A and B are shown apart, each in its own frame.
Chain A
């Protein structure tokens, strides 16, 4: 038996991704401003200029689970961040709560350094696992944020309620905090604690807003297309159900 409904939705995603990727090469699409990412650019510039460190947190999600999504988005941001900060006196630090995710962060960082011809500056310890459980991971953050040389604290990964503590540690140290995750409850806590919270699906938009590649920008257009389709489907389904049609 085949779940046609799911396959159709998957097909819509893939087709529109490819179509928008091709379309973007001819026409350009404007996206709404997102202050968080704009400020992130400035903060990174400032950090690079002042020889300060940038910290990217990939959260406590695993690589093999459905909570890997935001961390994958975080890795896309990392690839851009690595090139941007490669000339800084103090290289970026990437932390994760999962061993495999940490290895991915190291690989991404290495690739980013190679892209700017700074592969010699790459250190394996630039990608770290702070702790294997959510709270032990958060407990490791003060050691990184409290040193004084970290001025940009970016959290793009999967977090639970402990995200609020992670952001609070940053705020308390007076650093720039940009935080986003997929867990809705954690988003609500970040909305209160982080200076620049990323809410909802904004956490997945980092790659596009930091220009990690054409497919990232096509992804946003795809998300909007599917969004409209879902809205239409829900309205239609509501009408059908109201008139007694079972779906």
Chain B
């Protein structure tokens, strides 16, 4: 099985060494790491099995973790390794070269050191000097907090130490050396598996899937290994023993005949041991926190541009699956997936670059590629401006050990804060791209909530790269995402929890599918929505597992299936590019404009066409005129000017007819406006009508001015008019220029304290909203005072129900030019309405004709098209 290569595309097995899949033609060869035999590598077996690759990856991870745990050793170790003869000069040279990516040197160091064990039965001499010297240097250089951690770890792990069969280390060595010696590409190939954050390698075969687990789990022992120099093998033994200790727990994992399974189990076990330590002491997770911070940093940075990508699937997952069971199921699938495809790691190498982009591993890859002078793929830089800061930041931390002392434990605690206390929910943190999703999603919740989480305060203290994950701050609970999901409903009432404006992209909301679809922000599909993420597809289990009974389709898988369906559908219908109407000449607009202008100009200039005045009198007219005739002349009528200057052409005409009768009867008029420009309009109209009837300002009419605040102010005014309007407008002046009176202290308003003290309230409104506000909000304060609405033609249908109700809230209504003309006729005082009648009639006739033509043209095209379709 191990020799055969499983195709990443069709999953069929291909004979070893095949360059491309015999079934689907997918390329296999470049993905294989040629394990070139090299004499200079000690303990190298002639034929290095493929598995060594996986181990190498695992060990690379292990090495990388060591750099995380014992950052301060990094610089010293390399030369000393060189002296120890554990590595060739060119190897060292390349390591320095690759240094910034920080993967090379430790990766080289570890297998080298381990590789000599088989030859030197119990205590590898070659390894000792190599490890002792740095070990000796360590206490001088490592900060106290780190040494404390190591001491504690040493005490904790010691009892478990036992020797263990070796051989894998040598394989590891071979595999690793083979890649190192091989020119750039293999190194670059090996590195992604080692350099990517936990999530990056997770989707791979067991070796990969557990790679992160291994190095994370092995983190503390590796730190301790450098702390406890005397037993240099202890660390190695320790993690092996750890692993051995947890096989019982692994009985949950289905027995698998494949060679990788025991290793998988062991590595899981390692994780268990490590997890228990992690939970035991926060300090122990410093190195881990370092790693996590890097991962989070990258993830958060990358997500900074791609929140929507990760939002939907994960939130749906989190919301719908709701908790650890699902998390466990997911994780077990990952595990099984690994055991299913032992050799697919190599096959999926390149895919992994894309898959893991979301987890920020591309930052690291970018670093690496840059360091070996390979051009960086465009897509790799896509993830965004913050994208390239992650790795350097991470490295700068390594180079500044002291500085990180205080901040790291803090970060560790922050990370652990969300950590599930049970080991089992932990693995999801290693699931592909899940951490990235989690980091952002809950983070978003936090920010949407006001980002009032502690991380905000931490932000100030942490360096940038540590501050990055803060965006997902609360979401620092990567794996804890599930834990959070199952804790929240228990601690918060559902309704309260739901009030957190977290954007939940539920695929089950049919209408929201489009919006929910993930938005790719890297790769050639950058910017496209609904792109199927590579990882979940690759990670889709192919066979039911022990969880089969529980393996009903999760929300996440459902979402992915839906997504795939959508994508297939989308293929058929392409997004139409926005039509550039601006490029076309607006012929129709010109024709319509010309016809309407002509229709209006002719009656005004030539006098034709001429239209007969309306003979029918609206049934609303006589009651309104009767109401005005009954108005008391000793109480002012309040006229509300609720229209903008744009409507003055219509409203002056319609209201003019009404006000002409009111002021003609000598009823005092007080104007008020709910619009800033209303008072000026009131001045224009009332001055004109008052001049016609010889009414003087101050005694015959008055302007209260502007009532600011919209509907709210209408309420205030209705409740207590004098409190709402403080100052008059266009206050009348005596001949000597002195103001005769202010707003409320004018004689007209002397008797007015409440809205019901007016003789009538008339609202001249161009719209429906404010007219309704007066009918609804002010009417209750009006008592028996009649409310009249003078309306623009378009507002009538909405106000009329208030007028025609069995208990009317509106006592009179006047709307539109025809009614105004009829009013003027009935009032025997032809005014502006009459002068507008002919152009109005002509323009309406032209409009009717053009609309009819439009209907006929549209119908004709419609029928023609529908007639053509069947023929086609």
Touch between chains A and B, by CB atoms below 8 Å: yes
* Of the residues A31, A32, A84, A161, contact of B767 by C-beta under 8 Å: A161
* Of the residues B503, B644, B645, B794, contact of A212 by C-beta under 8 Å: B503
Instruction: List A5-47 residues whose CB lies under 8 Å from chain B.
Output: 18-19, 21-22, 24-25, 28-34, 37-38, 41-43, 45-46
How far is A171 from B578 in the complex, measured between Cα atoms in Å? 11
Pick out which of these stretches binds chain A: B46-54, B302-310, B349-357, B416-424: B302-310
Query: Interface 1/0s, chain A 193-227, versus B by CB < 8 A?
Result: 00000000000000011111111011000000000
* Of the residues B301, B515, B575, B795, contact of A37 by C-beta under 8 Å: B515
| A side interface size, CB within 8 A | 69
* Of the residues B494, B506, B575, B767, contact of A211 by C-beta under 8 Å: B506
In the assembled complex, B747 has its CB within 8 A of some CB on chain A: no
CB distance from A180 to the nearest CB of B (A): 15
Q: Are A118 and B578 in contact (CB under 8 A)?
A: no
What B residues does A185 contact at CB under 8 A?
767-768, 794-795, 798
B303, B308, B575, B578 pick with most chain A CB within 10 angstroms: B578
Pick out which of these stretches binds chain B: A63-71, A122-130, A229-237: A63-71
Q: Are A34 and B494 in contact (CB under 8 A)?
A: no
How far is A151 from B508 in the complex, measured between Cα atoms in Å? 30
How far is A183 from B444 in the complex, measured between Cα atoms in Å? 34
Q: Are A42 and B514 in contact (CB under 8 A)?
A: yes
Instruction: List A164-185 residues whose CB lies under 8 Å from chain B.
Output: 171-176, 182-185
Pick out which of these stretches binds chain A: B9-17, B88-96, B704-712: B704-712
Q: Are A28 and B675 in contact (CB under 8 A)?
A: no
How far is A87 from B341 in the complex, measured between Cα atoms in Å? 38
How far is A48 from B307 in the complex, measured between Cα atoms in Å? 14
With known contacts A30-B510, A41-B514, A67–B519 Cβ distance under 8 A? no
How far is A10 from B503 in the complex, measured between Cα atoms in Å? 26
Q: Are A151 and B578 in contact (CB under 8 A)?
A: yes
Q: Are A66 and B498 in contact (CB under 8 A)?
A: no
* Of the residues A46, A84, A114, contact of B451 by C-beta under 8 Å: A114
Q: Are A45 and B528 in contact (CB under 8 A)?
A: yes
What B residues does A31 contact at CB under 8 A?
509-512
In the assembled complex, B448 has its CB within 8 A of some CB on chain A: yes
With known contacts A185-B767, A185-B795, A211-B516, A21–B495 Cβ distance under 8 A? yes
* Of the residues B305, B578, B644, contact of A175 by C-beta under 8 Å: B578
In the assembled complex, A135 has its CB within 8 A of some CB on chain B: yes
Q: Are A174 and B579 in contact (CB under 8 A)?
A: yes
What B residues does A67 contact at CB under 8 A?
710-711, 769
In the assembled complex, A90 has its CB within 8 A of some CB on chain B: no
What B residues does A160 contact at CB under 8 A?
644, 766-767, 769
What B residues does A208 contact at CB under 8 A?
509, 512
Q: Are A114 and B447 in contact (CB under 8 A)?
A: yes
Q: Are A34 and B579 in contact (CB under 8 A)?
A: no
28 contacts between A and B (CB under 8 A): A22-B494, A25-B489, A25-B498, A28-B506, A37-B511, A38-B514, A42-B514, A64-B709, A65-B711, A67-B769, A83-B307, A84-B519, A87-B306, A87-B384, A111-B448, A115-B471, A117-B300, A117-B386, A135-B645, A135-B646, A172-B581, A174-B579, A208-B509, A209-B515, A211-B509, A211-B516, A213-B501, A213-B504
Instruction: Point out residues on B near A: beta carbons under 8 Å.
Output: 300-301, 303-308, 319-320, 384, 386, 444, 447-448, 451, 468, 471, 489, 493-495, 497-506, 508-512, 514-516, 519, 521, 527-529, 575, 577-583, 586, 644-646, 675-677, 709-712, 766-769, 773, 794-795, 798
Q: A117-B386, A184-B768, A210-B512 are in contact. List 14 more A-B contacts (CB 8 A).
A: A25-B498, A28-B506, A30-B509, A37-B511, A38-B515, A43-B578, A45-B527, A87-B521, A185-B798, A212-B501, A213-B448, A213-B500, A213-B504, A215-B501
